Amino acid sequence: MENKTILIIEDSQDDKDLIIRAFKKSELKARVDVVRDGAEALEYMNGTGKFEGKTLYDLPDLILLDLKLPKIDGKEVLQAIRSDKNYCLIPVIILSSSDEHNDVNECYKLGANSYIKKPIDFKRFLEIISVLITYWLTINEQAQI
């Protein structure tokens, strides 16, 4: 798991800090990159803008994506990821505060691998992160791009 990279696409500093804290508590050994909005996420994925020079920013093994993002929303980011042959097979987990059925259904239709409502309780959040890490980075056999 040490050679794995997780990309967090999250605009809320509090939520980002919570995710990072949960990763540290679970003793995650993967590299964690964070971008704060949808436009920055697409720059990261495409190796453009401040992420020019893709060798510094290899593609992630797992993406944690918030839906309500500035500049380009999470659904548009998901759609862009799924439509690009270079990274369409990377697992994308939606981490959102929304439990609206329309959001959940639309994300699955757009190709999300999983949809998780962000819990308020840190202990519960830690359990969810632990399961995510175990499943997506150790148990799951990932497609090769």
- Report pLDDT digits (tens) over 68-116: 999 999 999 999 999 999 899 999 999 998 888 999 999 999 999 999 9
pLDDT given for residue 105 in this prediction:
96
pLDDT given for residue 128 in this prediction:
84
- Residue 138 in this model has a pLDDT that exceeds 70: yes
Q: Which CATH number fits domain 5-139: 3.40.50.2300, 3.20.20.70, 3.30.2000.10, 3.30.70.520?
A: 3.40.50.2300
pLDDT given for residue 33 in this prediction:
93
pLDDT given for residue 74 in this prediction:
96
Q: pLDDT digits over 28-76, tens only?
A: 788 899 999 999 999 999 989 989 876 555 789 999 999 999 999 999 9
| Angle (CA) 4 112 39, round 5° | 75
Backbone angles phi, psi at 84, to 5 degrees: -105, 120
pLDDT given for residue 55 in this prediction:
59
For range 12-41, the mean pLDDT: 88
